[in-house]
Amino acid sequence: MTHHSAVVLLNASYEPHDVVSFPHAVRMLFRGVAVVHEADADRRIGPRPWPKVLRLVRYVVANWMYRPAGYGRDAVLRRDRRRCAYCGRRADTIDHVVPRSRGGPWTWTNTVAACGGCNGRKGNRTPDEAGMRLRFDPWVPTRAELAGWHG
């Protein structure tokens, strides 16, 4: 059985620190560098609870967490909290503000989460051309911002 779920990692100060893979989380538990902060009550890993959120035993300075996050489809959905940038409903697609066919790049500031309906309605147009308004301006998040939300 493979476990591909992500586990949120808190610093010893309870601040978001990172998101780690399930196998990495288990290794951290068995090495004693982290403890379970929040668990799945119905499952266990041997004697330990199944981790959903871990907390580091010692504080780790994490300046690197405030650098820009790595870009990708899943990261855009996390940044926008899986909410459509046009209507606010649940989003499962990515929309290019300036369409790719018109030179719009795959970048943080040109992509937003969108529901299928709004993405189809906007089509190959800019939001102004489609008569649609963005609920927020897309931005480049830090690693800490993406680690702080797990949905």
SS3 state of residue 148: coil
Predicted pLDDT of residue 19: 87
Phi and psi at 105, nearest 5°, equal -85, 165
**CA-only gyration radius of the chain, Å:** 19
Predicted pLDDT of residue 149: 58
| CA atoms of 114 and 95, how far apart (whole Å) | 6
Predicted pLDDT of residue 147: 79
C-alpha closest to that of 147 among 60, 84, 31: 60
Do 25 and 34 contact (CB within 8 A), yes or no?
Answer: yes
C-alpha closest to that of 53 among 62, 66, 40: 40
Domains, in order of start, for the chain: 6-61 (no CATH), 68-144 (1.10.30)
SS3 state of residue 127: helix
pLDDT, mean of each 10-residue run, the chain (151 residues): 72 88 93 94 87 93 77 95 97 97 96 98 97 97 77 47
Separation of first and last alpha carbons in the chain? 23
Predicted pLDDT of residue 95: 98
Predicted pLDDT of residue 61: 78
